[in-house]
Structure formats: structure tokens, C-alpha cells
Chains A and B, each alone.
Chain A
């Protein structure tokens, strides 16, 4: 175990996977130079520019190349610099990668990872700050991973690379420089296993990505100020989803909060809420509360963006609403 930022942990996992398996290649804009956040720094020096390939600004073709390479024996890891640009690659992800195994009657496999990052907080505005993961969860055939910290990012990335299916690995730029202990080399964490970070009897908080840390802060506040004990669960992967663990917790607490950074409307929280109410309806003391961003694009002006971003205070408020329901 050594301390590493999220960026360093992802870099460590990529280097480890490339050392272990020469079929693993990295493709994307500026990846041989390390990329804007230095996630791929040093990889070209160690593995050469054949396996760490800079690409032109051609997200569609680059994703398509990765799908074709994956169908033909390689294990590509593509970087889409901002999730906002995944819009340009959706034909390849949605129509090709997600369906190749299915449409071929099982003849083709697409062991592909698309790494990308989303989220607001850096005054980058409406085209570099979105959280679009819900779109991807809507497409059968894709897997969607959203790590909340450095150690999880490294472990989940190794499993994503080993998976025979296309996996979209959604990082959050606000987490990139937070440090924690990360195994070296990292250990794989299976896709589809949630992690319960805090036990509690009163309310279940299901938080994604950046909101996990906010949920932990909210749980401390609730315990200290109101004597409310919140259970905090990070699903880690949206597809496949560890519904059992979430539903068990909700049946015990009777109150559920779902928190993510994406726009609430049509966000993955809507799907989670629907699945959870069906699994725990008879145990619910209050409607499941959803925390997310308002139904607007992300603004640049600092006070506006700060107000836009969901966080710990919203979770505390939602928990109190749930606790007071019916009083």
C-alpha cells in the first residue's frame, strides 16, 4: 500500500495491465504525452508509441478502431478526454460495441474499455462538465463503472480490462487529486459488487462517484447534529448493479436517498429509485429522495456553478425530510 492520487492509481493500474498482458493497448488524444490530467503519463516511455497511441481528434473513428481491434484479439483502453465528447463516439459505442456479441450470435467479443471523465467544479462550462452516464446504462451490452476513489478506481479498472465486454469507465475530475492508500500492484475489484462504507439503521444513502464522499460527510453531520444514523453504500458499478445489497439495506432502514452529480431528471437515480421501491415497497417509511443537479446546463460563473453542484448539505436535508415524513 502506498499513497496515490486517483490519477496515479489509474496510471498504476494501466501500467500493471500492460505489463501483464501485451494485448492491452491505450488509445486517445494526447495519451502518449500523458493527457491533460497526466493519467497516462509515462506509459509511452515504458511500452512504446505502438501500444500507447496518440490519435487525432476523431472520437468516433478512434472508438471504432478500438472496437475492431477488440474483436480481433487486442484489449484496447480508449481515453475520451471529456465525457461530453462521447457524443461523437456514440454510434461506435451504442450501435457497434454494445451489440457485436449479441448480433453475431455470440461469435464476437468486444473486450474494450472506454475511460472518460465527467463532472463539474472546474468552471469549464456546459460542454466540459456533464455527467452523462445514465445514457450509457440504457444500452444493453455496455457495462458502466463509476469509481468514487483512487483504490477503487485501480481495482475496478483492472476488472474492466479483463472483462470480455465493452465497459465505460466514468471518472470524476473532482476526485483526480485526492489521495488514499492504493495497493501496488493494485488488486482487481469485481464488477457488480457494491461497498458499504458506513453502517446505519435510520436511512440508506446510495451515492455515486464524487457524491460518496459528500454522503460520508452528510452521515457525520446527521449523526452529530441530529442523532440520525445513515448507512452509506457505493454501488461502484451501475451495470451490472448490486441491487441485492442496496435493497437489503433499504428494507432495514425504510428510508432511501440516492445522490449523484448528474441532472436529477432522467438520471441513473431514477432507475435506482424505481428498482428499489419495487424491491422494498412494503418496508418504506418515506418516498425515496433523489439528489442531483438541476435541469439546466452547467454554468461557468463560480457562485452559479457552486450553487448548481449537489453536495453534502443537500443529502442532509433529504435525510431529514425522509426522517420527518408523515410527522
Chain B
């Protein structure tokens, strides 16, 4: 297989910036979880930044993205402001969802981040519904749903894939196969190793790429996106990644294999992408370092913004139950 062409310099810088934004955000959240400044079950996406950036970086604000419980990276890559995501995790009034949604239920409608859901697989039909709305209203927007390999064994997955194929809607399934469904490895959940093989009989286009190889994800997703933009679909992109942290922050991770961990550390998408860009002379080391520095400042500003934001007034709980 020939190596996909490198993204142009401006695109590359933006992808790298998005990846650093997710990486440094997540590392900061891990610290803040230990001191209970952020609340609830926290699922980090360290190791999966490349997929979020390469997919969302090619979408427009009016394209829809749905995510699952491990959603911070997808929301940020889709354009959700990091300060408001941080405030949401801290339960503050300036959070994306006024502090009532939390880590597993981020929504930023303005940027087309239509929602994370905490119930594995529950987001799949929602994304198809958005694709149906686009189709019936003759719009060229695309709907994208991120899910893990664990969701593939849920009933919603098969029901949704079948409907999407039957109705040929412009939906792109993006599976982040990170090797674990919660605490258990894929081979203990299914006899089918590759998620792209699970959907093979439905006959739509599918591909498996390394999620650590950002240009590969960018190229494959871009190809599907161009077709989906014309109303074609569905498509499935499986990205092989590795979850560098536990299922949630605080997970003791007794199931983890040290050798695999070491192997994946060497395939870290952020360092790999930087090496690739410098090697291809798309950007230089100074530019790469400057991006990291700028993003680090942005994250610190986000933490300050979130800490300074007040907790919401308790009356909003009752006010938000029904739309007026």
C-alpha cells in the first residue's frame, strides 16, 4: 500500500493543534479528577487523539457528530471551546450544557456536536436519525458517529447498520477499536476480530486503518466524506487504537498487558504525527513545539475560566426538564 499524501502545512498544523488540545486537556482532567474538581465517571481518550482530529477536522459546523461515553476529544475536535468543556466537567454554569450534562453527555449544537451518550451503542440510531433528516430535507450535511468496539455487540449496532444500509443514508460509522470493551479484551467478547468484517455482508464500503496513523485516517475518512457529501452512504471506518488510560479514571487496570502497553507507547499518535510532519518537512520542530506551548496555555486558561465560573442555580434543574 502506498503511503497517503501528507496533508498540506496549514491542515497539518491544525490537526496537530487539535491533537495537542485533546491530549493536554485529558491529562489535565486526569489530575483534576484525582482532586475531585471534575465530577463523575471520567473516560479519557489519550491515545485516540489522531482519530478525533483527522475525522472532525474535515467536517463543517453543520455536519453532525455523535459520540459515546469517551467523548471529550470528539467534542473538542468538532469545535467545542475547551473552556466550556472544562466548565461542564466541573459542573459550572458556563459549561456547554450549563453543568447539568457532564462528561458523558456533552452537547455543542452550534458546532454540530449533537451529543455524547453514556449508554454504549445508544448513539448509533440517533446519528442515523440525523442522517435521515438531512436526506429528507435535501441537505448535504453528513452525520458521523463514533463508537468503540464494545458497542458492536450491542443490539442497536446491528439494527442501525441494517437500517443505514437499507436506506442508504449519508452516515459514516467511525469505530475506534481500542482493544478493550471496558475491562475485557475483544477476543473475549466476539469471535470476529475486525469490526469492518462484522458489517461485510451489508455490502457498503468499509475500511480498517491504524488510528495512530493520522494521514491514513485523514485520507480514508476524507474519501468516505466526499461520497457522503453527495448523499451516498453508509460507510464504516475502523480505526485501530489503544486506550492508554483505564476504562475510567480510577480503574485499577489489572487486565492490562505490559508488553502491549509498551508497544503502543511507541505508536503514540501525537509523537508519530510530529515525527511524520518533521520528516516530510511539512513543519519544523520549532513550529511543533510552539503549537504545544500555545495549547498548554489555552488549557490553563480553560481551567481558570472553569474554576471562576459559578455553580448553576438549583432552580435550573426543574426548568430544563421540558422544552417550552
Q: Which residues of A are interface residues toward B (Cβ below 8 A)? A: 25, 50-51, 53, 55-56, 58, 60-74, 76, 91-92, 95-96, 99-110, 140-141, 143, 164-165
Contacts and interface: CB of A to CB of B under 8 A. Distances in A.
B98 A64 contact: no
B122 to A, nearest CB: 5
The residue among A61, A92, A106 with the most chain B CB atoms within 10 A of its own CB is A61
Contacts of B160: 61, 64-65
A61 B125 contact: yes
Contacts of B163: 55-56, 58, 61-62, 65
A71 B126 contact: yes
Interface of B: 64, 66, 95-102, 105, 107-109, 114-115, 117-119, 122, 124-134, 136-137, 143, 155-156, 159-160, 162-163, 166-167, 320-324
Contact of A141 (B127, B132, B136, B322): B322
Contacts of B124: 61, 64
A105 B162 contact: no
B107 A107 contact: yes
Contacts of B324: 164
B156 A72 contact: no
Contact of B130 (A53, A71, A95, A140): A71
Given A61-B128, A65-B163, A69-B129, A51 B122 contact: no
B115 A72 contact: no
The residue among A68, A73, A165 with the most chain B CB atoms within 10 A of its own CB is A68
Given A72-B133, A95-B117, A102 B122 contact: no
B97 A103 contact: yes
A74 B126 contact: no
A67 B132 CA distance: 11
A105 B96 contact: yes
A79 B314 CA distance: 37
A173 B53 CA distance: 52
A100 B66 CA distance: 13
Given A58-B163, A95-B119, A105 B125 contact: no
Nearest to A54: B166
A72 B129 contact: yes
Given A56-B162, A56-B163, A165-B322, A105 B133 contact: no
A241 to B, nearest CB: 13
Nearest to A102: B320
B119 to A, nearest CB: 5
Contacts of A67: 125-126, 129
Contacts of A103: 97, 100-102, 105, 107, 115
